Amino acid sequence: MKDKLCFSQPPRRPATNFRSLLMLAVIGLMLNLCASAGDAPSWMQALVNAPLPEHSEKTEAILMYSETNVTVVAVDKIRTQVREAYKILRPEGRERGTVLVYLNSQRKAKSLHGWCIPAQGKDYEVKDKDSLEMAPPMIAGIELVQDVKARVLHIPAPEPGNIVGYEYEVEEAPFFLQASWGFQTTLPVRESHYTLQIPSGWEYTSSWVNHTELKPTNAGKNQWQWTITDIKALRPEPNMPPFNGVRGQMIVTLFPPGGGALNNFANWNEMGKWYTNLVSTRLDASPQIKQEVAELTAGKTDTLQKMQALAGFVQHDVRYVAIELGIGGWQPHPASEVFIKRHGDCKDKATLLRSMLHEIGVDAYHVAIYTERGAITPATPANHGFNHVIDAIHIPDGVLDGSLVATLQHPKLGKLLFFDPTDDVTPFGQIRGALQANFGLLVTPDGGELTELPQQPSAMNSIQRTAKLILAPDGTLKGDVEEIRLGDRAHSQRSQLLAVGKDTDQIKPVENLLSSSLSSFHVTHATISNLHKWDQPFGWKYTFEAQNYAKNSGNLLLVRPRVIGNKGMSILETKEPRVFPIEFDGPARDTDVFEIAIPDGYVVEDLPPPVDAEYTFASYYAKTEVVNRVIRYSRTFEQKELSVPVAKADELKKFYRLISSDERATVVLKTDTK
């Protein structure tokens, strides 16, 4: 399943892909025709001889200067002026010459200019009239309708050695009285400034995330300025938390005189009230919804069966389509509208399910969450940094069932079950790994509270693999493998298989697995079980043959007992020390048992030693033995903690090295001279 966004907000800079880069390159060629000679402004000229901050030889560009000036005019009007200039160091830095300003029905561009100061020759200038307005690249794999647009300006000659810069001003009617200053990026920043101007009688608070708090200077009446210099670049790391969870930023919350504004929040409780105000009018069940609930629950006397029927309907019969116009990026459509159209985004589906559950006397609540763990933590100040919505369903007294594992006991609301109606492959009672041990905003009629979602037992997400194989004297290995998959291990396979267009492609997951461990192989047979039965284990049975699997060395035959499946990881094998926590998809417990019949004429000369690695975050046990002329290799891998702090990075590296060593180990067979 692809993660789907619910809360639309204009990003500062878009993620790029090949298609969008190609499109922007074409636009750039068109706009270059509009460039003209024109002196760059003084704030850019001052950067020509400015020293560069510390950076690596791979740095593509440096953000030499950044200035954000925010002027609060009224509750419904905020002006923001942005100036930025980059020194291009490598060809990859050319994309900094393309400026995208995101706009919507509430956010309008007042001006946009760009300049280039080349290392040799005259300055270039492009003006507002030289820009184009276009729809931003859509999210691949889903239908999406939104009113976000991008004003695009291409600055000519963004070549290594040149400085490109731009300034723009936007005016918006904000949905909430909060602003953020994300001063840290994936590039080094020489200096960054932020200025806030508020009307008389207004107040503000500033919260700092991933950076020591800095006090502002008074820049005038009701005006404050913050300045940071020499900001280190964020270096991407494998399995790191989301960018917004690690970047240095300041969140500013605004308070008009007298209070009473519905769109400002100083804490999570107030944000919950704000969201409750958006949702409360959307939950009423229409006659059509009431009729559907009656039909779906007809003949069912058990409350759990009724809940499962309603959840299954919203999960599978309501198609995911995001239509987010204006406040629609945050406010769901009415449940009645979602039901009639049979489509909606995550918050729409969560709303419809709440409406339907209410008809059988079951309460439920919205939960705003980010689809990757680590974006929001208990230390994060209240902000709108969520991109997904799920449900927290109250489990009525007397409803007891072992399948309901994604639960927690709330001190006021009772037992709550977390369920994602957008996730069409995770059964009712469970949540996928990325949501487990993640923090979401539980929205209740009394307000909101940041809540840690439950972590499910690791055994519920597993691959149980067994193989019975025969080894020939020439090194050929062949035989049968059976896999039983649970949890996310099953859901990922189902998602892949349901997306293939041809039956012949259904074998690809098996081929991908084998190719990661075998240099050559041939799959002769494969079958699937429980592909469409979401609440049942997913299964594979396949037969393969791999020539030259065992290696001859004189009278010896070297056999790797760990035939397929890799648990060792090299994510920490880097020159640079680890900076960020290591995040994992979810808890897991995988087992492998490979039995390899020893070929006639050979006996065992040497076996690999057993491995017993036990850590707080994970464990790994492996053993190789010989039973009745069969090499039997068994191992168990368990991921127990989903976030490993940097302080344990060396332990984790040692753990993966032990696994990798075991996975490479060989059994030595020699010819039997008796």
Token pair listed for 596: 């390899």
Q: Establish if 499 belongs to a structural domain.
A: yes
Phi, psi of 519 (to 5 degrees): -75, -35
Asked if residue 411 and residue 306 are part of one domain, the reply reads yes
Asked if residue 411 and residue 480 are part of one domain, the reply reads no
d(CA 115, CA 512): 49
What does the pLDDT look like over 20-46, one tens digit per residue?
Answer: 443 444 444 444 545 566 789 999 999
Asked if residue 517 and residue 388 are part of one domain, the reply reads no
Tell me which of 456, 484, 500 is where a domain ends. Answer: 456
Length of the chain: 674
Asked if residue 417 and residue 350 are part of one domain, the reply reads yes
pLDDT for position 384: 86
Is the distance from CB of 654 to CB of 574 less than 8 angstroms? no
Q: Establish if 121 belongs to a structural domain.
A: yes
Asked if residue 274 and residue 209 are part of one domain, the reply reads no
Asked if residue 152 and residue 38 are part of one domain, the reply reads yes
Q: Which residues of the chain have pLDDT under 70?
A: 1-37, 137-146, 259-263, 674
For 662, which DSSP code?
H
pLDDT for position 19: 38
Asked if residue 183 and residue 221 are part of one domain, the reply reads yes
Q: Which amino acid is at 397?
A: D
Name, in order, each residue with C-beta under 8 angstroms of 5's C-beta and a sequence gap of 6 or more: 139, 322, 345, 346, 387, 388
Asked if residue 217 and residue 316 are part of one domain, the reply reads no
Tell me which of 409, 427, 456 is where a domain ends. Answer: 456
Q: In this structure, what CATH number is given to the domain that contains residue 323? A: 3.10.620.30
Cα angle at 215 between 210 and 221, to 5 degrees? 135
Nearest to 13, CA basis, from 332, 295, 234, 269: 234
Number of domains in the chain: 3
Q: Establish if 475 belongs to a structural domain.
A: yes
d(CA 420, CA 438): 14
Is the distance from CB of 253 to CB of 207 less than 8 angstroms? yes
Range of 628's domain? 459-671
- In the block, which residue shows the tokens 């204006």? 326
Is the distance from CB of 160 to CB of 62 less than 8 angstroms? no
Burial pattern 505-543, b for ≥16 Cβ within 10 A else e, equals: ebbebbbebbeebbeebeeeebebeeeeebeebbbbebe
Sign, CA torsion 9/14/17/23:
positive
Q: Establish if 7 belongs to a structural domain.
A: no
Q: In this structure, what CATH number is given to the domain that contains residue 609? A: 2.60.120.1130
pLDDT for position 330: 87
d(CA 323, CA 334): 13
Asked if residue 370 and residue 232 are part of one domain, the reply reads no
CB atoms within 10 A of CB 575: 4
Asked if residue 464 and residue 441 are part of one domain, the reply reads no
Q: In this structure, what CATH number is given to the domain that contains residue 239? A: 2.60.40.3140
What does the pLDDT look like over 271-325, one tens digit per residue?
Answer: 999 999 899 999 999 999 999 999 999 999 899 999 999 999 999 999 998 877 7
Asked if residue 438 and residue 301 are part of one domain, the reply reads yes
Q: Establish if 13 belongs to a structural domain.
A: no
Is the distance from CB of 332 to CB of 350 less than 8 angstroms? yes
What pTM value is reported for the model? 0.90
The CA-based diameter of the chain, rounded to the nearest angstrom, is 99
d(CA 153, CA 145): 24
Q: Which amino acid is at 461?
A: N
Tell me which of 456, 474, 502 is where a domain ends. Answer: 456
Q: Tell which phi-psi region holds residue 429, choosing left (phi > 0), alpha (psi between -120 and 50) or beta.
A: left
Asked if residue 423 and residue 485 are part of one domain, the reply reads no
Is the distance from CB of 460 to CB of 430 less than 8 angstroms? yes
Element (H, E) at 426: none
Q: Is 285 helix (H, G, I), strand (E, B) or coil?
A: coil
Beta strands 462-471; 588-597: pairing state? parallel
d(CA 499, CA 191): 47
CB atoms within 10 A of CB 398: 7
Q: Establish if 332 belongs to a structural domain.
A: yes
Q: Establish if 12 belongs to a structural domain.
A: no
Nearest to 581, CA basis, from 459, 437, 382: 437
d(CA 202, CA 507): 63
Nearest to 666, CA basis, from 549, 574, 512, 494: 549
What string of H, E and C letters represents the secondary structure of 216-254?
A: CEEEECCEEEEEEEEECCCCCCCCCCCHHHHCCEEEEEE
Q: Establish if 581 belongs to a structural domain.
A: yes
CB atoms within 10 A of CB 319: 13
Token pair listed for 145: 């309708």
Q: Which amino acid is at 108?
A: K
For 104, which DSSP code?
B
